[in-house]
């Protein structure tokens, strides 16, 4: 399958950040796309199938946003590395360059560099609808003539001219031309000497690509040791001062394309005070802005609770009906038990929270689409610098509310090493979507359903407080690390604030679909494996421990004169304690008992290190294994179909008979999961991003130790 895909033409979608490139990608590919990583690195790769009206298909690759082939971030380095290596698996057959027509001059530096690489290229001037509303007049034909490439106006948001863009792309990859392109930038005498030497020694044909090899020979990953040594020798003998030549080239390019922009785009004499300006005066106000952001986030948390009730009830009812159907139609054996008490119990413990996770993704994506999140970055830049980070760190921290893994990857846009490292280390404090199932179960147990002012519930306030706790922990940790990690390097924030616009709903739904399906598939695979393993560990024990526990429990139940129902439950509990899972849980019980946790919670803590959301699935399996519910005919229908939360509410310590899930225990668990490093994937990404297990190990022990201490203090205060 992969071989067939590689034979299709590869089209690179390239452009500056905030050019609307991803929206155009969604317009061109729809659901025919997948997300992965470039080989060997953790940078996101979006790849989609582009179908032309003629029936021809091509692979469209959405490259990370890039300002120049002289990179200042890891994302930009990846793009430069791919384009400097024609043998790379992702080296494109053609390029579609997406530029924001309202700020075209800022977007032409990279375009002219790509032209000098000799790639077939066309330029799509995006946001044409915005330019028209601003009173701008664009002569695309004049730009096309000056640059000698196809140029057309499009709108990724409205879909205007997307079909025309598709036809133009097909024409670009099917037409054959041997006409040499005149370089935009004329190499200086020294640059020519360097390029010629590189071409001669490394058999490179394009002079500008040869020059790129000389500029970046120290870090380009595909170069062999001998090639790197040859390039270093050329640079030294030719007295090639890379940084100075980069600056001179950049200034020369601006001198060449600025007149083209001025001659092709007519702007109104003075830009009017637009609606965006009026909204920004209020939303980015020094005092009102942060308050508005806080109110917006609280409304999101309230919506997550209020709008998801009915779909959650439907999912619970669906799993209950499916379990009843399987128990009624399959023989009563170990396989049926594995299916109902293991796999389905585990999956239901996590999938019931999909509506709330989908709502979180939906609302945050809408805020990004309308342009509000860019303002958040701008507003909090000065604040973040006090805590060892910068405004771009806000992107990672906000992204952490979905998943820490891609959020940590996004820190590659931060050029300052110290600020990037601090961002990587503190981002997992931000409550991700995987914590939502844990929060919702425990908040439902601990917090009463009371409302303030008629609409704001206590549960949503506590839910928001968990996010606030993560933010405070991240900021305070960043503040401490800022003083611990010493560096003289400084950085500055440069960001384009897009105009406010209505969300492009196709883009919103595609984003939500992608994130929710990734969550379901990712969590589902882990849950199935963990549930099967847990069922086996809970079903079997060492030697004849299960049989001994059963006979002892029967004798004790007879002595206590328990009825049939409670006798069955008593036996199930004793069997579970004697199982391998029970042995493991009792082994760690002394460590976690000071926090108010029993051995079942201990097992859930261990298994949830694979993924935080496994916590609820683990408890669902354990409480299913430890109860006779569903197997006793004289039980009431409500008891037989008790939800996980109801089962947790009834759980007691065997030695004292006191409830396990008291207010203090629930709050302690909430704090523990808000602060602990409970995710193998995050640790692996931290190791890859920092290049050392040292930082990943530091992060794990620091976060876990902080979580344990804070959870212990909370339990002491409220018990």
Is residue 69 within 8 Å of residue 212, measured between CB atoms? yes
User: Does the structure show a pLDDT above 70 at 631?
Assistant: no
Q: What is the pLDDT of residue 645?
A: 72
How confident is the model over 213-250, as pLDDT tens digits?
Answer: 999 999 999 999 999 999 999 999 988 999 899 999 99
Name the residue among 69, 177, 171, 63 with its Cα closest to residue 116. 69
Burial of 497 (0-12, 13-18, 19+ CB in 10 A): middle
3-state class (DSSP) for residue 58:
strand
Taking the C-alpha atoms of residue 619 and residue 349, their distance in angstroms, rounded to an integer, is 8
Is residue 115 within 8 Å of residue 184, measured between CB atoms? yes
Q: What is the pLDDT of residue 138?
A: 92
The two beta strands, 44-51 and 33-37, are antiparallel
Is residue 697 within 8 Å of residue 419, measured between CB atoms? no
Taking the C-alpha atoms of residue 95 and residue 14, their distance in angstroms, rounded to an integer, is 7
Q: What is the pLDDT of residue 93?
A: 92
Task: Report in angstroms the alpha-carbon separations of 317 from 106, 196, 320, 357, 705.
Answer: 55, 72, 5, 19, 39
Residues 6+ apart with CB under 8 A from 441: 616, 619, 644, 645, 648
Q: What angle do CA 500, 502, 508 make, to 5 degrees?
A: 115
Taking the C-alpha atoms of residue 704 and residue 693, their distance in angstroms, rounded to an integer, is 16
User: Could you tell me which residues are beta bridge partners of residue 46?
Assistant: 35, 62
Is residue 19 within 8 Å of residue 103, measured between CB atoms? no
pLDDT top residue among 133 and 13: 13
Taking the C-alpha atoms of residue 24 and residue 18, their distance in angstroms, rounded to an integer, is 12
Task: Report in angstroms the alpha-carbon separations of 537 from 173, 232, 494, 545.
Answer: 58, 59, 54, 13
Mean pLDDT, range 707-718, rounded to an integer: 94
* pTM metric for this prediction: 0.64
How confident is the model over 411-460, as pLDDT tens digits?
Answer: 766 767 788 889 899 999 988 877 888 888 888 887 877 777 666 778 88
Taking the C-alpha atoms of residue 703 and residue 156, their distance in angstroms, rounded to an integer, is 42
Q: What is the pLDDT of residue 441?
A: 83
First to last CA, the chain: 59
pLDDT top residue among 491 and 16: 16
Is residue 15 within 8 Å of residue 97, measured between CB atoms? yes
Out of 165-169, 223-227, 677-681, which region has the weakest mean confidence (pLDDT)? 677-681
Report the range out of 98-107, 267-276, 353-362, 644-653 with the highest average pLDDT.
Answer: 98-107
pLDDT top residue among 698 and 359: 698
Averaged confidence pLDDT in the chain: 81
Residues 6+ apart with CB under 8 A from 92: 10, 11, 12, 61, 119
Taking the C-alpha atoms of residue 317 and residue 337, their distance in angstroms, rounded to an integer, is 19
Which domains, from first to last, does the chain contain? Answer: 2-174 (3.40.50.300), 189-266 (no CATH)
Taking the C-alpha atoms of residue 577 and residue 586, their distance in angstroms, rounded to an integer, is 8
Q: What is the pLDDT of residue 670?
A: 93
Taking the C-alpha atoms of residue 622 and residue 620, their distance in angstroms, rounded to an integer, is 6
Both tokens of 34, joined, read 């997948």
Q: pLDDT confidence of 116, banded at 50, 70, 90?
A: very high
User: Could you tell me which residues are beta bridge partners of residue 94?
Assistant: 11
pLDDT top residue among 104 and 175: 104
């Amino acid at each position: 399958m992969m071989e067939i895909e590689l034979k299709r033409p590869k089209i690179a979608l390239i452009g500056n950040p905030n050019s609307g490139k991803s929206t155009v990608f969604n317009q061109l590919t729809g659901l025919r796309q997948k997300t992965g990583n470039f080989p060997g690195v953790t940078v996101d790769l979006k790849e989609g199938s582009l179908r032309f009206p003629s029936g021809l298909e091509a692979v469209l690759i959405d490259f990370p946003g890039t300002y120049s082939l002289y990179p200042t971030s890891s994302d930009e380095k990846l793009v430069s590395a791919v384009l400097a290596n024609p043998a790379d698996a992702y080296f494109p057959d053609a390029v579609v360059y997406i530029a924001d027509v309202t700020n075209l001059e800022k977007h032409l530096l990279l375009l002219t560099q790509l032209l000098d690489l000799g790639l077939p290229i066309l330029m799509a001037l995006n946001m044409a609808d915005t330019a028209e509303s601003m009173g701008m007049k664009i002569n695309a034909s004049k730009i096309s003539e000056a640059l000698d490439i196809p140029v057309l106006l499009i709108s990724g948001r409205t879909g205007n001219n997307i079909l025309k863009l598709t036809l133009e792309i097909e024409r670009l990859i099917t037409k054959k031309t041997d006409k040499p392109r005149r370089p935009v930038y004329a190499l200086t005498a020294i640059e020519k000497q360097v390029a010629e030497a590189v071409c001669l020694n490394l058999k490179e044909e394009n002079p500008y690509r040869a020059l790129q090899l000389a500029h970046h020979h120290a870090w380009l990953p595909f170069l062999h040791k001998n090639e790197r040594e040859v390039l270093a020798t050329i640079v030294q003998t030719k007295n090639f001062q890379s940084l100075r030549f980069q600056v001179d080239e950049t200034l020369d390019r601006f001198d060449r394309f600025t007149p083209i922009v001025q001659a092709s785009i007519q702007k109104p004499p003075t830009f009017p005070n637009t609606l965006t300006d009026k909204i920004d005066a209020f939303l980015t106000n020094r005092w009102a802005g942060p308050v508005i952001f806080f109110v917006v986030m609280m409304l999101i948390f309230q919506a997550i609770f209020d709008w998801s009730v009915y779909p959650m009830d439907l999912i619970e009812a669906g799993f209950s009906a499916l379990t009843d159907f399987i128990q009624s139609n399959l023989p009563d054996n170990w396989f049926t038990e594995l299916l109902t008490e293991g796999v389905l119990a585990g999956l239901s413990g996590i999938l019931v929270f999909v509506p709330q996770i989908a709502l979180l993704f939906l609302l945050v994506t809408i805020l990004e689409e309308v342009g509000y999140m860019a303002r958040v970055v701008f507003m909090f830049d000065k604040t973040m610098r006090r805590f060892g980070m910068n405004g771009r760190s806000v992107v990672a921290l906000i992204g952490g509310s979905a998943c820490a893994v891609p959020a940590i990857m996004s820190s590659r846009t931060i050029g300052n090493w110290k600020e990037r490292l601090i961002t990587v280390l503190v981002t997992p404090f931000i409550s991700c979507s995987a914590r939502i199932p844990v929060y919702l179960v425990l908040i439902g147990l601990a917090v009463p359903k009371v409302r303030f002012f008629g609409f704001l519930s206590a549960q949503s306030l506590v839910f928001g407080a968990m996010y606030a706790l993560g933010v405070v922990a991240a900021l305070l940790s960043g503040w401490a690390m800022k003083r611990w990690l010493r560096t003289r390097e400084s950085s500055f924030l440069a960001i384009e604030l897009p105009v406010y616009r209505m969300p492009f709903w196709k883009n919103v739904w595609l984003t939500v679909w992608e994130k929710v399906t990734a969550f379901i598939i990712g969590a589902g695979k882990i849950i199935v494996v963990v549930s099967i393993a847990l069922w086996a560990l809970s079903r079997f024990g060492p030697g004849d421990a299960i049989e001994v526990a059963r006979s002892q429990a029967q004798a004790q139940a007879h002595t206590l004169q328990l009825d049939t129902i409670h006798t069955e439950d008593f036996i199930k509990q004793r069997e579970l304690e004697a199982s391998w899972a029970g042995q493991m849980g009792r082994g760690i019980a002394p460590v976690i008992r000071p926090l108010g946790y029993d051995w079942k919670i201990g097992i859930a803590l261990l298994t949830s290190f694979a993924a935080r959301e496994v916590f609820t699935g683990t408890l669902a399996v354990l409480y299913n294994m430890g109860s006779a519910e569903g197997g006793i005919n004289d039980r009431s229908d409500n008891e037989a179909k008790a939800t996980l939360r109801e089962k947790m509410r009834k759980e007691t310590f065997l030695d004292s008979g006191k409830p396990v899930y008291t207010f203090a225990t629930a709050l302690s668990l909430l704090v523990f999961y808000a602060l602990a490093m409970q995710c193998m994937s995050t640790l692996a990404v931290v190791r890859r991003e920092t290049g050392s297990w040292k930082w990943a190990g530091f992060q794990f022990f620091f976060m876990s130790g902080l979580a344990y201490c804070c959870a212990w203090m909370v339990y002491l205060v409220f018990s």
